[in-house]
Amino acid sequence: MTWLVMGFVLGVCFTLFLQWSRANHVHTGVLFWFLTGLALLSLLSGVQNFYGLRAELEERAAMNIIPIYGVQVLLWGGLAGLLLWRNVRKAKRLQA
């Protein structure tokens, strides 16, 4: 059930992002989507490992795995966010 809800939320977020980027004429390149995919893959892998370790009653290992995946998500997501920020600034300059 958790994966169903997460898939629905991610699908809605993806659709809203595409509508926003098209409405504001923001170009998103291949590198942005690659970094976003890595961040999303790291996030989903971290969630799966966390729930798996909790199911095996490995509470300490589950808590220790959060920072490992969290750094990966912040790294890839931060780089994708910087690319998006640059593209938004460029789109605003072109519209003005």
Residue 65: both structure tokens together: 């795995």
Predicted TM-score of the model (pTM)? 0.84
Task: Look at residue 2 and tell me if it is in a domain.
Answer: no
Report pLDDT digits (tens) over 16-65.
999 999 999 999 999 999 999 999 999 999 999 999 999 999 889 989 99
Number of domains in the chain: 1
Task: Look at residue 17 and tell me if it is in a domain.
Answer: no
Predicted local confidence at residue 95, as pLDDT = 81
Q: Which residue has the tokens 């809203």?
A: 16
Task: Look at residue 71 and tell me if it is in a domain.
Answer: yes
Alpha carbons 31 and 41: distance in angstroms, whole number: 15
Q: Which domain holds residue 59?
A: 29-88
| Three-state secondary structure of 10-27 | HHHHHHHHHHHHHHCCCC
